[in-house]
A = this chain, B = another copy of it.
Amino acid sequence: MESINSKLKSLIEEIEKLPSIGPKTAERIALYLLSLEEQEIKKFLDTLTDARANLHLCPICFNITDKEICEICSDESRDRSSICVVEEVNDLLAIEKTGSYKGVYHVLHGDIDPINHKGPDQIKLKELLDRIKNSHIKEVILATNPDFSGDMTATYIAKLINSIKMDIRITRIAVGLPKEAEIGLADTLTLSMAIKERKEYK
C-alpha cells in the first residue's frame, strides 16, 4: 500500500517538472500551495493566467512584453546601434540588472547545439540578420553562454554577420575569474581561460 496520497503525489510530480526544482523542493512547494488561503492561491493563479494571456514576444528583439514593442526597444534613450545577443530572456534580465548596458537586445530563444539536434533554424537568427541588414548597427555583442554550444553559436553568428556586413564591430563577453574569486578555489577551466585571456596591465 502506497503511504503517500496519490493526489499529493501527482501535484509533487507536476511541480518537479519546473526548472531547478528537485524532489525535496517540489514536496515543500506542493505542501505550501495546499496550505495557502483561498485568496492567496487566487492571486497566484490570476497573476499566472493574466501573464500568460497578455505576454508575447517583442517582434523586434523577442524579449517578453505585453506592449506592441517591448519596453527596451521602445525606450528612446537606449542606443539602438548596439545589439546584445543573448540565448534566453533571463539572460537579458540578468544583464539589465547590472545597469551597465544601454543598447538594445536580441533574444535567440536557444542556441545552436548539433549534439542535441538544435540547428540555426530553430533560433531567432534569421531575424537577427534581418535587423543587422536593415538598420544602422555599429556593434553586436555576442553574449551567449561561455559553454560549448554558446561558444559555437557565437562563432557561427560572428561568421554570418561578417559575411553580410564588414563594417560592424563584433564582440564576445569576457570570460575569466568571477570578481572576489579565490584563485586557489577556482575551477581549472575558468582559471586556464583567465590566464589565456589575460590583458595588458595599464
B48 A5 Cβ-Cβ under 8 A = no
Is A52 in the interface zone, CB < 8 Å from B?
Answer: yes
Q: Does A173 contact B (CB under 8 A)?
A: no
What's the Cα separation between A64 and B30 when bound, in Å?
A: 11
Contact B75 A31 (CB under 8 A): no
Assembly of this chain: how many copies?
2
Q: Chain B residue with minimal CB distance to A74? A: B1
Instruction: Please give, as numbers and ranges, the residues of chain B lying within 8 Å of A77 by CB-CB distance.
Output: 1
Please state if A55 and B72 are interface contacts (CB–CB under 8 Å).
no
Evaluate contact between A66 and B7: CB separation under 8 angstroms.
Answer: yes
Q: Which residues of B contact A52 (CB under 8 A)?
A: 33-34, 41
**Distance of A43 Cα from B15 Cα, bound (Å):** 11
Nearest B residue to A25 via CB reads: B20
Stretch touching chain B among A89-97, A111-119, A135-143, A187-195: A89-97
Is A156 an interface residue, CB under 8 A from the partner?
no
Contact B89 A31 (CB under 8 A): yes
CB <8 Å contact, A45 and B45: yes
Known: A34-B55, A71-B1. A19 touches B8 (CB 8 A): no
Please pick, from B3, B18, B75, the residue contacting A3 in the complex, using a CB distance under 8 A. Answer: B75
Any B CB within 8 A of the CB of A47: yes
Task: Tell me which residues across on chain B come within 8 A of A43, comparing CB atoms.
Answer: 14
User: Closest CB of chain B to A75's CB: distance in Å?
Assistant: 5
Bitwise, A66-93 to B at CB < 8 A (1) or not (0) is 1100111001010000000000111001
Does B19 lie within 8 Å of A28, measured CB to CB?
yes
How many Å from the CB of A129 to the closest CB on chain B? 24
